[in-house]
């Protein structure tokens, strides 16, 4: 089977509650979808799909430059056969238009994995992880920086749907407010609820130490990225100065930074985001490296739509069992989302379909979504 055409589609969705980043709150998310068409594959009439959704705070390209990189790369994808795809995925960093565009590389990497899975009749999780791949992965819920009074009802709703792990956004406000919010979550969720916090680089080193020490009585599962991503040494000092498990998130930008974190023993857990790392293959490389050196790994989406999140879920499933829930569940704060008939995506668990590849029909989702698609470009093979 050959890639006969490439299409691009864009979607924009407002967030009902802005999400914090190191560069300020994000109120709108934009996604560019890359579609690879190859005609009927194994009886399926759907294209393979990938997503680019860059966001401030991680050193990624802008959305406009990501779309431009995908347009320039499209012609390079025409004519690829299933025998060429594995090599194309490995060599994506050498593809000039996307060399400096990790989110665009992610879209191509995910679409190529999807295409190959469809061709071979296996899911992406099994394509990467073999028979050890899981059919479902535990997923945490996330509560943004909302007032303490709103946290109890949210926690009750999540727990009613089987959620056992909740991530709470902290930082960017007086410590007393954060403590009130964590207290509200602990009281509503009870002793069995796993609570992790994410500061998104909001604290100085001293603030991180004092804040996390104050949070220790609430029995946190772990704390994500308390200090600036660039200061890996400070991250290690925070880890050594408090009794809270530390996860590196924004600091994990590529294999080199992951290696530096491990060498400096600066964290206990590595957060692996395929969108940031440039695709499923480089993300899995980082995850396997971390595990080989005794580190736990949590795979998360990037506030992306169901396409990107489900790709991350396949990566998580390919890694096998883990003591931690992954950040690949539904995002309740999207005003709009692609409507998909499957897979069943519920709080607490993401279940992968038995369909090959990604298991999602993006054309169905785009057709069902009642929003304007900014651009759809189709490049036919000659």
- Which residues 6+ apart lie within 8 Å of 311 measured at CB? 50, 51, 110, 113, 114, 124, 274, 280, 358
Task: At 313, list the tokens.
Answer: 């879920």
Question: Could you tell me if 232 and 261 are in contact, meaning their C-beta atoms sit under 8 angstroms apart?
Answer: yes
Buried b (16+ CB within 10 A) or exposed e, 235-249: bbbbbeebebbbbbb
Of 46, 126, 167, 169, which residue is the catalytic one? 169
- Phi, psi dihedral angles at 380 (to 5 degrees): -80, 145
- Which residues 6+ apart lie within 8 Å of 24 measured at CB? 56
Distance in angstroms (rounded) separating the CA atoms of residues 98 and 117? 23
Question: Could you tell me if 1 and 374 are in contact, meaning their C-beta atoms sit under 8 angstroms apart?
Answer: no
Task: At 131, list the tokens.
Answer: 């028979």
CB count, 10 Å around CB of 126? 21
Buried b (16+ CB within 10 A) or exposed e, 346-366: ebbbbbbbebbbbbbbbbebb
For this structure, is 273 an active site residue?
yes
Of 273, 284, 309, 326, which residue is the catalytic one? 273
Q: Which residues are catalytic?
A: 169, 273
């Amino acid at each position: 089977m050959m890639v006969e055409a490439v299409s691009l589609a864009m979607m924009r969705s407002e967030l009902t509650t802005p999400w914090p980043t190191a560069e300020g709150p994000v109120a709108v998310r934009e996604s560019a979808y890359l579609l690879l068409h190859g005609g009927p594959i194994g009886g399926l009439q759907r294209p393979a799909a990938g997503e680019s959704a860059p966001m401030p705070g991680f050193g990624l390209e802008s959305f406009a430059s990501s779309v431009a990189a995908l347009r320039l790369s499209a012609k390079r994808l025409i004519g690829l056969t299933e025998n060429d795809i594995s090599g194309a995925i490995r060599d994506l960093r050498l593809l000039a238009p996307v060399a400096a565009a990790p989110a665009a590389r992610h879209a191509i990497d995910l679409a190529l994995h999807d295409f190959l899975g469809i061709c071979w009749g296996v899911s992406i999780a099994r394509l990467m992880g073999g028979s050890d791949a899981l059919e479902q992965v535990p997923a945490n819920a996330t509560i943004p920086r909302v007032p303490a009074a709103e946290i109890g009802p949210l926690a009750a709703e999540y727990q009613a749907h089987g959620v056992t792990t909740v991530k709470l956004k902290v930082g960017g406000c007086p410590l007393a407010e954060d403590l009130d919010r964590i207290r509200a979550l602990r009281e509503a969720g009870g002793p069995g609820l796993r609570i992790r916090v994410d500061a998104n680089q909001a604290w100085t080193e001293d603030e991180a130490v004092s804040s996390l020490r104050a949070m220790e009585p609430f029995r946190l599962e772990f704390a994500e990225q308390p200090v600036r991503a660039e200061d890996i040494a400070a991250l290690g000092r925070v880890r050594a100065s408090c009794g809270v498990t530390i996860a590196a998130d924004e600091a994990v930008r590529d294999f080199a930074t992951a290696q530096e974190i491990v060498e400096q023993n600066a964290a206990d857990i590595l957060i692996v985001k395929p969108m940031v790392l440039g695709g499923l293959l480089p993300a899995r490389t980082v995850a396997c490296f971390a595990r080989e050196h005794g580190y736990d790994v949590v795979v998360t989406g990037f506030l992306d739509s169901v396409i990107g999140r489900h790709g991350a879920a396949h990566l998580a499933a390919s890694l096998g069992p883990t003591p931690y829930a992954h950040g690949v569940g539904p995002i309740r704060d999207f005003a709009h989302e692609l409507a998909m008939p499957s897979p069943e995506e519920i709080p607490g668990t993401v279940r992968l379909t038995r369909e090959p590849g990604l298991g999602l029909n993006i054309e169905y989702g785009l057709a069902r979504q009642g929003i304007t698609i900014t651009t759809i470009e189709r490049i036919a093979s000659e």
